[in-house]
Amino acid sequence: MADKSISELVAATSVGSTDLFVLEQANTAKKLTGQILENWLVSFADGHGGIQSWSYTPPVAPSLEGTLTLTLADTTVITVPIMNGAKGDTGAQTYVWIRWAAQNPTADNQLSTTPDAWIGIYVGLSATAPTTRGAYAWYQYKGAQGDQGDQGESIAAVIRTSGDGSPGSTDTYTITLTDGTVAGTFTVYNGLNGTGAVATVNGILPDGSGNVELTGPDIGVSPSGSTPLADQSGGAIGSSTDYARADHRHPMNVSQATPAPLGTAGPGTSGQYARADHVHAMPSASDVGALPVPTIVEDVWDTTQGGAANFDRTATFEVSGSGFVLVQDNTWIDPLSASDYGSTNVTITYNGAVVASAGIRTTSTHSEMQGAYVEYPANVSNGDTFVLNERHTKGGTKHTRRRFVCFGCTVTKTA
C-alpha cells in the first residue's frame, strides 16, 4: 500500500470489529479498531433514538477531504470530514544474482558465471553482482557420482527346442540368458517348397537366365503402316492393336464455338482448348463479398499557450472487440513569435510498449509552423489499450488530430 494513495484503494462496504483505522488524537497518531468506533457511535446515537442512515461522499481530488454523514432517528445530522493520506514512497528495487563454484567456495576467486557443481544465490538491493562468496547462499547443484549398478545379463543361446524344420511345419526356439534363466520362446513357420516352373509364354521358351522376351507379334500386335491423322478436331477416342508410328500425333480437342461474352460465363471445367478470343468472367461483388465498413474515431484539440514552458497532452484509448486498427497522430504548432523555438514530439504506446514515435527540434530562431506525424497499424483484441502523447517546448497555437480507423472493432477514449 506504500505506493498508493487512499483514493486509489478499493472502497470498503462495511466495518468489522477487528478492522483498523489511523487517526490523530491530541497531536499523536493512534490506531482505532472497528469495535471502538461502533461502541462510540452506538453510545452517541442512543441519546437521539439511534442511527437512521449513513453515507460517505469521497473527495473530488486526492488532496481534498471526503465526508461521512450520519442521520440519527431524531433527524440530527452529523458530518465527519475524512482526509486522504499522502501517497507512500515506492519500494526499493530487489535484484537476484547467481554464481557457480566447483565446490562449496572457501575463497572469493572461486566464483564463476559458468554452471558447476555448486550454485550461489543472492537476493538483495545490489544492482551489480556481488564479488564475495559470503553474499550468496550456497547449495549443491550436482550430486556425487552414484555407485556402479549390478552387471546385466545377456543372451547366451537361442536353441530350437521343438520341431524339425520340415516344410510347412512350425518350430519353437528357446532364449537362454548368461545366468542360466530362460528369457522366453518364439515360433518360426517353415514355408512350403515351390513346385513347377515356366515352360513357355505364347510358345516362346525362356532364355539361359530364365527370362521370356516377347515382341509385338508374339502378343498379337503389329506396327501400323498408316499415317496418323494431323492435329484437328476430327480425331476419335478409342483403342488400337497397332504400334504408333514415329510421326504419330494425338488430335488436339480445339473448340470451334465462340466463347460467351464477358460477364455471362459461368464457373466449371472444359475438355477443350480455349480459343484466341476466349475471356474469363469477372467476379461480382456478391461473389467476393462486400468490403467491411470501417469505424473512424477522431480526437481534435487546439489551444494557445505563450512562453517556452513544456506542454504535454496524453490520452488513453481502449479497444472493444477484435479486428484491425490504423492509429494516426498528428500534432503541430504555430509559433507566437520568432523566438518561440524548441521541439515537437508525438509517441504511440500500445499495451505498455512504445511502438511508434516522431519529432523535430529547432535550434535557432524561427517563426514557421512546426509539426510531427506518426501512424501505426495493428491487429487488436478486446481490452487492448493505446496511449497517445504530444509534447511541445515552445509557445504558440498547438493543434492535435488523433484518428483511429477500425475494422471489426471500436475504440473508446478512457482518459
Local confidence pLDDT in tens for the 415 residues of the chain: 445 666 667 777 677 778 887 777 788 878 878 788 777 777 776 767 677 777 878 777 666 677 878 887 788 888 877 766 666 677 788 999 999 999 999 999 999 999 999 999 999 999 999 999 999 999 998 777 788 888 888 898 999 999 998 988 999 999 999 888 998 999 999 988 766 667 788 888 888 777 888 877 777 666 666 666 555 555 566 666 666 666 666 666 666 666 666 555 566 666 666 666 666 666 666 666 666 788 888 888 777 765 555 678 888 999 999 989 999 888 877 766 666 667 788 898 999 999 888 877 665 555 566 677 888 898 999 999 999 888 877 767 778 888 889 988 989 999 8
Q: Are residues 79 and 107 in the same domain?
A: no
Question: Does residue 307 fall inside a structural domain?
Answer: yes
Q: What is the pLDDT of residue 273?
A: 66
Q: What is the pLDDT of residue 227?
A: 63
Q: Are residues 299 and 346 in the same domain?
A: yes
DSSP 157-203: EEEEEE----TT-EEEEEEEETTS-EEEEEEEEPPPPP------BTT
* Domain edge (last residue) among 43, 60, 83: 83
Q: What is the pLDDT of residue 397?
A: 76
Question: Does residue 163 fall inside a structural domain?
Answer: no
Q: Judging by beta carbons within 10 Å of its beta carbon (0-12, 13-18, 19+), is residue 392 exposed, middle or buried? A: buried
Question: Does residue 376 fall inside a structural domain?
Answer: yes
The three-class DSSP label of residue 41 is helix
List C-alpha distances in Å: 119 to 130, 244, 258.
14, 83, 84
Q: Are residues 67 and 112 in the same domain?
A: no
Sequence-distant (6+) residues with CB within 8 A of 37 are: 15, 21
Considering only CA atoms, which of 344, 304, 300, 328 is closest in space to residue 404? 328
* 120, 134 contact by CB (below 8 A): no
Q: Is the pTM of this model over 0.75?
A: no
DSSP 344-371: EEEEEEETTEEEEEEEEE--S---S-EE
Q: Are residues 64 and 110 in the same domain?
A: no
Question: Does residue 89 fall inside a structural domain?
Answer: no
Q: What is the pLDDT of residue 336?
A: 66
Q: What is the pLDDT of residue 313?
A: 84
Question: Does residue 225 fall inside a structural domain?
Answer: no
Q: Are residues 78 and 108 in the same domain?
A: no
Q: Are residues 343 and 404 in the same domain?
A: yes
Which cell is 44 given?
452517541
Q: Are residues 100 and 26 in the same domain?
A: no
Number of helices (H), then strands (E), in the chain:
2, 20
What's the CATH number where 320 sits? 2.60.120.380
* Domain edge (last residue) among 108, 124, 139: 139
What is the domain count for the chain? 3
Question: Does residue 273 fall inside a structural domain?
Answer: no
CA 393 to chain centre: 38
Q: Are residues 26 and 113 in the same domain?
A: no
Q: Are residues 61 and 117 in the same domain?
A: no
Q: Are residues 305 and 395 in the same domain?
A: yes
Question: Does residue 223 fall inside a structural domain?
Answer: no
The three-class DSSP label of residue 271 is coil
The residue range of the domain holding 131 is 95-139
Helix or strand (DSSP H, E) at 155: strand 155-162
Residue 313's DSSP bridge partners are 390
- Phi/psi of residue 265, nearest 5 degrees: -70, 155
Considering only CA atoms, give the Rg of the chain: 47
Q: Are residues 79 and 100 in the same domain?
A: no
Sequence-distant (6+) residues with CB within 8 A of 29 are: 22, 23
Q: What is the pLDDT of residue 129?
A: 95
Q: Are residues 300 and 406 in the same domain?
A: yes
Residue type, 406: C
Question: Does residue 153 fall inside a structural domain?
Answer: no
